[in-house]
């Protein structure tokens, strides 16, 4: 049997585009002699559709799309994901379903059993879990069809009390197919392969796994669809971060192996780089925008964001704006100008000294002779935010936020100033990783000037200011933040690792007391196992560790 695996980039709620793309690939697969073509979880509506699923019209459009797709399935069968209506009054109104389409009709429907409600997932909010198990019979094959999480309950500390494949294996299948929407993080490829291999070894069955590719606001899907034999050996691995469809043959001995090289970024930083490019590109394309703007400070963060945006959108679609003050160093301005000349992108220079002086004068009756402090520093950041948002409004740019994860974690940023923007590019990238990204960006030649990479980081909001005046060195800070945020270690556990007790308690207090700031930041492109945003939900007024 020849099976086409379609690893595609969908657009949430864009039924016309999604349906047309699915039908086009059914036709291509048929021309290539495929018997069956497999698409991803909730491909019809896109993933995650979130509260769109609460609108009856949205579900009606899903069903209309399924009927259109079914009509194309003549001489070829199709598996595709879509929400479906639960016919029973009891329970949630919807299922997360995999449809099997053949001979122009819906021949079978398999519903998802395990509904994740951790990290970025919230499926039990919308869907009823499956309780009935059956196989799909096609071309002499008995297919155990499952949806994403249904294969993930194989850990030593299982998250769920039941295992769908334990039920399906009783029906004597000879092939597993899993349709998925598995978001990217820089470790997820290895986790994903490990889970799928465990299933193959446990049930002694070959497996076809198809994943989404593309970005949906903050979530990035990396593709990496897989074919594994019944011993868990990878017979074929699809490319990462790109769309593709391939027709592969399943014979009595399993998958006929393919030997083509794949696009599989190996290092953590290389994966983050490609994920961020995809995240930027899709956010703009799917939102209908083409041009970006950002503040260019001469620091490492804005330089990395500029380089990424220029690569993702094209240099002519990115506008860096230099906004020097009386506290800006000459080398920061010169370094910024050197970089924009290298990229050959247009830039603007808007000095803020006079604007700042006007605000100082306007507030003098209230501030009187009080000394310069954080208030005046924040005023400068907010002046820059006002100028950038004015340019955004006037010319239709999307403002790119340049805050990194280290700063965002401890609140080292100004609300309505440098924390404003339409999309946060590196808000899930620690400062030390930002430096690694800069080196990677310069791998084939200097794009980011060496002085930007090597000089001590500074907000330049007062004379001779350095980040180290307010924060521990980033090498130390990032290690403690990683233990707390990604690994959810307690303060006692972190201290036992050898970190100074006072430093640990101070950092964790900063993280927790600045939750209110993070609730007001733009969407952050997710590249780590635990990002700020929908996957990390903390109370603002909680007392724990604050």
- Encode pLDDT of 296-333 as tens digits: 999 999 999 999 999 999 999 999 999 998 886 778 88
Instruction: Map tokens 């240099």 to a residue.
Output: 315
d(CA 88, CA 111): 14
Q: How many CB atoms lie within 10 A of CB 500?
A: 12
Contact predicate 270/441, CB 8 Å: no
Please tell me whether 402 is known to bind a ligand. yes
State the Cα–Cα distance between residues 254 and 158, nearest whole angstrom: 29
Per residue in 65-88, pLDDT tens? 999 999 999 999 999 999 999 999
Domain range 269-467, CATH class = alpha beta
Alpha-helical regions (H) of 152-299: 164-168, 188-203, 268-287
Give me 512's structure tokens: 């927790």
Q: Taking every pair of C-alpha atoms in the chain, what is the biggest distance, in angstroms?
A: 87
Residue 531's pLDDT is 97
What is the rounded distance in angstroms from the CA atom of residue 78 to the CA atom of residue 29? 10
Say how far apart CA 375 and CA 79 lie, in whole Å.
Answer: 59
Element housing 516 (H / E):
helix 515-518
% pLDDT > 90, the chain: 89
Cis peptide, bond prior to residue 326, ω within 30 of zero: no
Determine the average pLDDT of the residues in 5-30.
98
% of the chain residues with pLDDT over 70: 96
Q: Which residues are catalytic?
A: 41, 112, 148
What residues are paired with 399 via a beta bridge?
293
| Model pTM score | 0.95
Q: Is 160 annotated as a binding residue?
A: no
186 is in an annotated binding site: no
Helix (H) or strand (E) holding 424: strand 423-424
State pLDDT tens for residues 82-108: 999 999 999 999 999 999 999 999 999
Query: What is the average pLDDT score of the chain?
Result: 94
**Is the CB of residue 525 less than 8 Å from the CB of residue 423?**
yes
**Reported confidence tier of residue 471, pLDDT bands at 50, 70, 90:** confident
Per the annotation, does 302 bind a ligand? yes
Question: What average pLDDT does range 237-246 have in this prediction?
Answer: 96
Cβ neighbours of residue 209 closer than 8 Å, sequence gap 6 or more: 177, 178, 180, 196, 225, 226, 227, 228
Could you tell me the two tokens for 365?
Answer: 């009756």
- Tell me the mean pLDDT in the region 476-502: 97
Q: Where are the domains of the chain?
A: 2-257, 269-467
**Phi, psi values for residue 423, rounded to 5°:** -150, 130
Q: How far is the C-alpha of 182 from the C-alpha of 537, rounded, in Å?
A: 20
| Residue 113 annotated as lining a ligand binding site | no
Backbone angles phi, psi at 436, to 5 degrees: -65, -40
Burial 29-64 (b: 16+ CB within 10 A, else e): bbeeebbbbbbbbbbbbbbbbeebbeeeebbebbee
The mean pLDDT of 192-197, rounded to a whole number, is 96
In the 8-state DSSP scheme, what is residue 419? T
Span 2-257 CATH architecture: 4-Layer Sandwich (3.60)
- CB-based burial, 470-493: b 16+ in 10 Å, e otherwise: ebbebeebbbbbbbbbbeebebee
Which of these ranges, 366-380, 424-438, 458-472, 532-546, has the smallest mean pLDDT? 458-472
Whether residue 367 has pLDDT greater than 80: yes
CA–CA gap between residue 76 and residue 204 (Å, rounded)? 27
- Mean pLDDT for the stretch of residues 509-518: 95
Task: State yes or no: pLDDT of 134 exceeds 90.
Answer: yes
For 151, other C-beta atoms within 10 Å of its C-beta total 25
- Annotated binding residue at 223? no
Residue 455 has pLDDT above 90, yes or no: no
pLDDT at 257 over 70: no
């Amino acid at each position: 049997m020849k099976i086409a695996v379609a690893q595609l980039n969908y657009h949430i709620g864009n039924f016309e585009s999604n349906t047309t793309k699915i039908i086009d690939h059914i036709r291509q697969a048929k021309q290539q002699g495929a018997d069956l073509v497999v698409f991803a979880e909730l491909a019809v509506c896109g993933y995650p559709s979130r509260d769109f699923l609460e609108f009856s019209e949205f579900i009606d459009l899903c069903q209309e799309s399924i009927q259109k797709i079914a009509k194309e399935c003549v001489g070829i069968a199709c598996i595709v994901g879509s929400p479906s209506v639960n016919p029973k009054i009891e329970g949630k109104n919807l299922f997360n379903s995999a449809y099997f389409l053949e001979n122009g009709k819906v021949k079978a429907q398999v519903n998802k059993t395990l509904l994740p409600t951790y990290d970025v997932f919230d499926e039990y909010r919308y869907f009823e879990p499956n309780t009935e198990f059956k196989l799909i019979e096609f071309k002499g094959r008995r297919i155990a069809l499952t949806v994403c999480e249904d294969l993930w309950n194989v850990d030593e500390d299982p998250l769920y009390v039941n295992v769908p494949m334990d039920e399906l294996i009783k029906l004597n299948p000879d092939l597993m197919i899993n349709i998925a929407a598995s978001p990217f993080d820089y470790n997820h490829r290895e986790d994903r392969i490990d889970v799928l291999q465990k299933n193959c070894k446990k049930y002694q069955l070959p497996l076809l796994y198809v994943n989404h590719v593309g970005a949906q606001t903050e979530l990035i899907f990396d593709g990496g669809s897989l074919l594994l034999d019944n011993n868990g050996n990878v017979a074929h691995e699809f490319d990462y971060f790109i769309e593709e469809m391939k027709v592969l043959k399943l014979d009595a001995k399993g998958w006929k192996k393919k030997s083509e090289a794949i696009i599989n970024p190996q290092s953590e930083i290389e994966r983050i780089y490609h994920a961020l490019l995809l995240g930027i590109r899709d956010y703009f394309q799917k939102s209908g925008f083409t041009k970006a703007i950002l503040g260019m400070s001469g620091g490492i963060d804005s330089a990395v964001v500029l380089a990424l945006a220029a690569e993702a959108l094209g240099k002519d679609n990115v506008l860096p704006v230099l906004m020097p003050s009386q506290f800006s160093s000459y080398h920061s301005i010169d370094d910024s100008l050197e970089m924009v000349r290298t990229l050959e992108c247009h830039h603007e220079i808007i000095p803020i000294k006079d604007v700042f002086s006007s605000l100082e004068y306007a507030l003098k009756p209230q501030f009187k002779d009080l000394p310069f402090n954080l208030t005046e520093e924040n005023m400068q950041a907010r002046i820059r935010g006002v100028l950038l948002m004015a340019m955004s409004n006037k010319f239709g740019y999307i403002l790119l936020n340049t805050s990194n994860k280290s700063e965002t974690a401890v609140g080292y940023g100004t609300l309505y100033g440098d924390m404003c923007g339409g999309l946060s590019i590196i808000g899930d990238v620690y400062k030390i990783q930002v430096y690694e990204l800069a080196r990677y960006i310069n791998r084939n030649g200097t794009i980011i000037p060496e002085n930007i990479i090597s000089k001590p980081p500074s907000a330049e909001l007062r004379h001779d200011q350095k980040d180290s005046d307010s924060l521990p060195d980033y090498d130390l800070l990032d290690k403690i933040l990683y233990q707390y945020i990604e690994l959810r270690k307690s303060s006692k556990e972190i201290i036992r690792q050898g970190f100074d007790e006072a430093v640990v308690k101070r950092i964790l207090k900063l993280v927790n007391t600045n939750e209110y700031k993070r609730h007001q930041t733009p969407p952050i492109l997710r590249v780590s196992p635990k990002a700020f945003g929908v996957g990390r939900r903390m109370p603002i007024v909680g007392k724990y560790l604050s």
